[in-house]
């Protein structure tokens, strides 16, 4: 029988997790890393590691309010990195793109224009012809910035609201006001046809079913094409983590499960399809309404090219990035190191994790199983030459517990995704994650 423990153990949005990465010695050349890879349908990710504030729950690689001269230096260095990376992957063709962070719209409209110019000039990607997602925030979703996003082809704009109630937002370490949120959403809707995604958080201190319903009501009034609903986590070295509260708490688990289930029922009634524990998409709405491309990106099998300090890159056998940290001093140190690098240094992979055949299979399983549609067993067999159940007999235990039916999560399995994902991590990746020292 499976004993998963707390349903809230970790968000496994990537596998292996970034805390399993280690310095690569010797550092491999990117040209060698990408040699032999299928580069026809890649994902391009560009990281902007700046925000106007650091939210209390955030453990992403970002710096709040950097010196203005650093932003200009970062864009110049990003151009140099992109040149070297493109030279190392001469056949790269991008089927999707995203600009995240941090908050990309922390940049001014002029700086955003410069960002798009350098991406297109160095990578040869025409961002107007592929699905392009860009993250923003209530304070930075201004008409002039949004006009740049519209002009440069953004097909999806994602805004982190977290709660429409000021007191709850403040309790989550996000000092925003409802009026500012409403102004930002109005500006996004007025800026053009891009799909709107709204992020909300449940499990905030003081949140109740009634206040959660109020945030859902407020979000739905904007008719978002997507909603992402995140359970609150309190992680080490974050603003909330420094106050404590990351210990196991069965009552908090029960509260988060109750709010999650309320949202699942409510959104189903409003015509939203649940795609994962977190992602809900309005039925009939285009995933990326303005993007057209002859290729199709498959997250299980296709690679990702990351640009910028904090971005990760994926090949079939190596995931790599720069160093990672959460605390302010260490983030600043890593950024300073990135900005001081000679251009030729970007020819090499810095830190990462090599995936053998077993880890490649496990990644396919996890990237599929944690989605509502589940694992395509035939595609798995065609890719690896073995069957899913031969490789992962543990699936039978999840079936017996009622979390999996066939090769898909049940409704209860979706609710426990943040326990099932960690439960399926390999012993090697788990040991590396356990050995990671949070900085």
Per-residue DSSP letter, 20: G
Asked if 229 and 212 touch (Cβ cutoff 8 Å), the reply is no
Residues 157 and 70 occupy one common structural domain: yes
Residues 204 and 67 occupy one common structural domain: yes
In which residue are the tokens 């399993």 written? 20
Residues 278 and 368 occupy one common structural domain: no
In a domain, 203, yes or no: yes
Residues 72 and 198 occupy one common structural domain: yes
In a domain, 226, yes or no: yes
Return per-residue pLDDT of the chain as tens, 439 residues: 788 999 999 999 899 999 999 999 999 999 999 999 999 999 999 999 999 877 877 778 889 999 999 999 999 999 999 999 999 999 999 999 999 999 999 999 999 999 999 999 999 999 999 999 999 999 999 999 999 999 999 999 999 999 999 999 999 888 899 999 999 999 999 999 999 999 999 999 999 999 999 999 999 999 999 999 999 998 777 777 766 666 679 999 999 999 999 999 999 999 999 999 999 999 876 555 444 444 688 999 899 999 999 999 999 999 999 998 888 899 999 999 999 999 999 999 999 999 999 999 999 999 999 999 999 999 999 999 999 999 999 999 999 999 999 999 999 999 999 999 999 999 999 999 999 888 8
Residues 406 and 276 occupy one common structural domain: no
State the Cα–Cα distance between residues 58 and 201, nearest whole angstrom: 12
192, 198, 204: which is closest to 138 by C-alpha? 198
State the Cα–Cα distance between residues 256 and 343, nearest whole angstrom: 47
- Report how many domains make up the chain: 2
In a domain, 127, yes or no: yes
pTM, 2 dp: 0.95
Residues 105 and 214 occupy one common structural domain: yes
Handedness of CA 100, 103, 105, 108 (dihedral sign): negative
In a domain, 108, yes or no: yes
Residues 391 and 278 occupy one common structural domain: no
Residues 246 and 97 occupy one common structural domain: yes
Three-state DSSP class for residue 64: strand
Helices (H), 89-208: 109-123, 143-151, 166-171, 178-191
Domain boundary among 246, 265, 282: 282
In a domain, 239, yes or no: yes
Cis geometry, peptide bond prior to residue 26 (ω within 30 degrees of 0): yes
State the Cα–Cα distance between residues 90 and 363, nearest whole angstrom: 26
Residues 148 and 247 occupy one common structural domain: yes
N- to C-terminal Cα distance for the chain?
36
Residues 264 and 155 occupy one common structural domain: yes
Domain of 68? 28-282
CATH number (domain holding residue 250): 3.80.30.20
Residues 66 and 191 occupy one common structural domain: yes
Domain boundary among 261, 282, 303: 282
In which residue are the tokens 């800026």 written? 191
In a domain, 8, yes or no: no
In a domain, 4, yes or no: no
Domain boundary among 282, 308, 324: 282
**Tokens standing for residue 324:** 């990672």
In a domain, 2, yes or no: no
Residues 32 and 170 occupy one common structural domain: yes
Residue 275: which H helix or E strand, with range? none
Strand bridging mode 304-307 / 42-48: parallel
- Per the DSSP assignment, residues forming a β-bridge with 230 are 201
């Amino acid at each position: 029988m499976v004993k998963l423990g707390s349903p809230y153990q970790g968000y496994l949005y990537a596998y292996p997790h970034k805390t399993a990465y280690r310095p690569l010695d010797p550092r491999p050349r990117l040209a060698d890393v990408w040699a032999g890879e299928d580069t026809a349908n890649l994902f391009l990710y560009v990281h902007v590691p700046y925000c106007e504030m650091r939210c209390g729950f955030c453990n992403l690689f970002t710096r709040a309010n950097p010196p203005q001269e650093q932003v200009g230096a970062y864009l110049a260095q990003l151009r140099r990195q992109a040149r070297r990376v493109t030279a190392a992957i001469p056949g790269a063709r991008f089927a999707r793109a995203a600009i995240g962070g941090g908050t990309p719209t922390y940049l001014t409209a002029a700086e955003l224009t410069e960002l798009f110019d350098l991406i297109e000039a160095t990578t040869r990607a025409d961002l107007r012809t592929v699905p392009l997602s860009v993250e923003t925030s209530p304070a930075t979703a201004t008409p002039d910035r949004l006009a740049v996003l519209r002009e440069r082809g953004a097909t999806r704009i994602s805004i982190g609201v977290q709660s429409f109630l000021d007191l709850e937002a403040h309790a989550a370490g996000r000092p925003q006001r409802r009026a500012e949120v409403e102004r930002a959403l109005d500006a996004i809707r007025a800026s053009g046809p891009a799909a709107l995604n709204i992020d909300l958080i449940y499990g905030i201190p003081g949140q109740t079913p009634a206040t959660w319903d109020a945030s859902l009501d407020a979000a739905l009034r904007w008719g978002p094409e997507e909603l992402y609903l995140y359970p609150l986590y309190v992680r080490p070295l974050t603003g909330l983590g420094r106050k404590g509260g990351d210990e196991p708490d069965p009552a908090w688990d029960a509260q988060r499960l109750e709010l999650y289930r309320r949202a699942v029922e409510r959104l189903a009634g409003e015509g939203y399809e649940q795609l994962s524990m977190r992602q809900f998409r309005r039925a009939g709405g285009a995933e990326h309404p303005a993007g057209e491309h002859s290729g199709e990106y498959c997250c299980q099998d296709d690679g990702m090219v990351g640009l910028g300090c904090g971005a990760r890159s994926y090949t079939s056998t190596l995931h790599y990035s720069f160093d990672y940290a959460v605390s302010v001093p260490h983030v600043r140190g890593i950024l300073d190191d990135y900005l001081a690098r000679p251009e030729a240094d970007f020819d090499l992979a810095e830190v990462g994790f090599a995936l053998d055949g077993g880890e490649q299979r496990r990644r396919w399983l996890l990237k599929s199983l944690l989605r509502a549609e589940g694992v395509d067993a035939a595609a798995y067999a065609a890719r690896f030459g073995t069957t899913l159940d031969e490789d992962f007999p543990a699936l039978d235990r999840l079936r017996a517990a009622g979390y999996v039916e066939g090769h898909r999560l049940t409704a209860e399995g979706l609710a426990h995704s943040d326990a099932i994902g960690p439960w399926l991590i390999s012993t090697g990746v788990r040991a590396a994650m356990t050995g990671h020292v949070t900085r």
